[in-house]
């Protein structure tokens, strides 16, 4: 459980989304998601940081528009697992059973991520849709859920930012979530 503790010397609220960290903590339990830190996704950004950024921005948008009825748990979980392919796509080709266009990473990795996620987790239909269709239109099939559409759009935004920016994400929640995944921090005290 993550909580915000008031720091009397500062009125700055560093972590405004403790629920996001709880959702990340629920997802990473018993997973191999920390392995994503070893692989570069776009530019200077690791696959782990990219997945956390997509999950965070998807979460923030969903919280901003509650009347759209997003399922936050499945949204964050699907976003965290959308690139759960666990290999360096810059140096390792997709598995040999892929043929034609599926031999290209952009077309194949949603299915590899889905296979890995299905091995490690019991996935809902919404989470399966988020993972397998986040690369629409490269995946050819339309996303079925609003969460899938949101993750697909945020993924494209984050990917573009990562390719053209030299900076990593300097957002406290993303950095705390990264520490949570890599160091297994059970609780984080944050100044309010």
Q: Report d(CA 48, CA 64) in Å as an integer.
A: 24
Distance of CA 128 to the CA centre of its chain: 14
Q: What is the mean pLDDT of residues 42-49?
A: 77
DSSP assignments along 118-158, one per residue: HHHS---HHHHHHHHHTTTTTT-SPP-SHHHHHHHHHHHHH
pLDDT value of position 48: 87
Q: What is the mean pLDDT of residues 84-90?
A: 63
pLDDT value of position 192: 33
pLDDT value of position 80: 93
Query: Could you say which of 1.10.10, 1.10.287, 1.10.3210, 3.40.50 is the CATH number of the domain covering 3-191?
Result: 1.10.3210
Tell me the pTM.
0.79
Residue with tokens 């950004």: 45
Tokens of 23: 């959702």
Q: Where are the domains of the chain?
A: 3-191
191 — pLDDT class (breaks 50, 70, 90):
very low
Neighbours of 123 (CB within 10 A): 18
Does residue 83 have a pLDDT over 80? yes
């Amino acid at each position: 459980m993550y909580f915000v503790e008031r720091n009397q010397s500062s009125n700055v609220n560093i972590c405004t989304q403790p629920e996001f960290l709880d959702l990340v903590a629920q997802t990473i339990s018993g997973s191999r998601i920390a392995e994503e830190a070893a692989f570069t996704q776009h530019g200077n950004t690791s696959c782990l940081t990219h997945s956390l950024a997509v999950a965070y921005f998807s979460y923030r948008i969903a919280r901003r528009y509650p009347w759209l009825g997003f399922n936050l748990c499945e949204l964050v979980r699907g976003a965290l697992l959308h690139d759960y392919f666990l290999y360096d796509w810059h140096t390792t080709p997709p598995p040999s059973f892929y043929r034609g266009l599926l031999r290209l990473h952009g077309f194949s990795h949603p299915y590899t991520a889905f296979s890995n996620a299905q091995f490690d987790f019991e996935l809902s239909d919404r989470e399966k849709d988020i993972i397998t269709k986040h690369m629409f239109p490269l995946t050819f099939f339309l996303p079925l859920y609003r969460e899938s559409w949101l993750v697909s759009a945020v993924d494209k935004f984050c990917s573009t930012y990562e390719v053209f920016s030299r900076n990593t994400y300097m957002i406290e929640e993303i950095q705390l979530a990264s520490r949570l995944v890599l160091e297994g921090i059970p609780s984080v005290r944050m100044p309010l």
